Chains A and B, each alone.
Chain A
Amino acid sequence: MIQYFIDGLVSGSIIALGAVGLSIAYNVLRFANFAQGEILAIGAYISMAFIVLMGAGIGSIGPISFGWPLLGSIVFSIAVTSVIVLVVDSVLFRVLRERAASRITFIIAAFGLSLIIRNVITLVAGADQMFLSFYIPRAIPIFGDIKVVPDDIVILVITAICVVSLHSFLSITTMGKKMRAVAENPILAMVNGINVKSVIRWSWVIGASLSAIAGTLHAHVTQLDPEMGFELILPMFAALIVGGVTNVYGAVLGGFLIGLTEAFAVAADLSAYRSAISFLIMIVVLIVRPQGIIGEKERDD
Chain B
Amino acid sequence: MLYYFAPTVTVNNSDPSSGKAILQVSNLVAGYQRVLPIVIDVSLEVIQGEILTLLGPNGAGKSTLIKGICGLIEVISGEILFQGENISELETYEIIERRVAYVPQTENVFAKLTVLHNLDLGAILNTQAYAERLEKVFELFPDLSRFRDTTAGKLSGGQRQMLALGRALMADPVLLLIDEPSAGLSPVLRNQVFQHVVQIRDSGVTVVMVEQNARAALSVSDRGAILANGRLRLVKNARELLEDPEVAEIYFGAGSMARAS
Contacts and interface: CB of A to CB of B under 8 A. Distances in A.
Contact of B107 (A177, A188, A195): A188
Contacts of A191: 70, 72, 92, 96, 102, 104
B124 interface: yes
Nearest to A198: B93
Q: Which bucket holds chain B's interface residue count? A: 20 to 34
Given A190-B92, A191-B102, A192-B167, A184 B113 contact: yes
Interface in B136-179: 167, 171
Contacts of B124: 174, 177-178, 181, 192-194
A181 B110 contact: yes
Contact of A181 (B72, B96, B102, B121): B121
B122 interface: yes
A196 interface: yes
Interface string B95-108: 01100001010011
B104 A193 contact: no
Given A193-B125, A194-B124, A188 B93 contact: no
B34 interface: no
A194 B125 CA distance: 8
A187 interface: yes
A177 B120 CA distance: 10
B100 to A, nearest CB: 9
A185 B72 CA distance: 14
In this complex, the member of A180, A185, A192, A195 whose beta carbon has the largest number of chain B beta carbons within 10 angstroms is A192
Interface string B109-127: 1111100000011101100
A231 interface: no
Contacts of B93: 190, 193-196
Nearest to B120: A177
Given A181-B121, A187-B72, A187-B104, A193 B171 contact: yes
Interface string A189-223: 01111111100000000000000000000000000
A181 B107 CA distance: 13
In this complex, the member of B72, B109, B121 whose beta carbon has the largest number of chain A beta carbons within 10 angstroms is B121
Contacts of A184: 110-113
Given A185-B107, A185-B110, A192 B122 contact: yes
Contacts of A196: 93
Contacts of B171: 192-193
A188 B113 contact: no
Interface string A149-182: 0000000000000000000000000100110110
Contacts of B109: 188
B91 interface: yes
B107 to A, nearest CB: 6
Nearest to B110: A184
Interface in B47-76: 70, 72
A193 B112 contact: no
Nearest to A178: B124
B231 to A, nearest CB: 26
A51 to B, nearest CB: 42
B101 to A, nearest CB: 8
A187 B110 CA distance: 11
A181 B122 CA distance: 11
Interface in A66-119: none
A180 B125 CA distance: 15
Given A184-B110, A188-B110, A177 B92 contact: no
A158 to B, nearest CB: 31
A124 to B, nearest CB: 38
Interface string A268-282: 000000000000000
Contacts of B102: 191
A177 B91 CA distance: 20
B203 to A, nearest CB: 20
Contacts of B112: 184, 296
A300 to B, nearest CB: 14
A192 B121 contact: yes
A188 B125 contact: no
Interface in B7-36: none
A191 B92 CA distance: 7
A194 B171 CA distance: 12
A187 B92 CA distance: 10
B66 to A, nearest CB: 11
A60 B70 CA distance: 57
Interface of A: 174, 177-178, 180-181, 184-185, 187-188, 190-197, 296
10 contacts: A184-B112, A184-B113, A185-B107, A191-B92, A193-B92, A193-B93, A193-B96, A193-B124, A193-B125, A194-B124
Given A181-B110, A188-B107, A194-B124, 13 more contacts: A184-B111, A185-B110, A188-B109, A188-B110, A190-B96, A191-B70, A192-B121, A192-B122, A192-B167, A192-B171, A193-B96, A193-B171, A195-B91
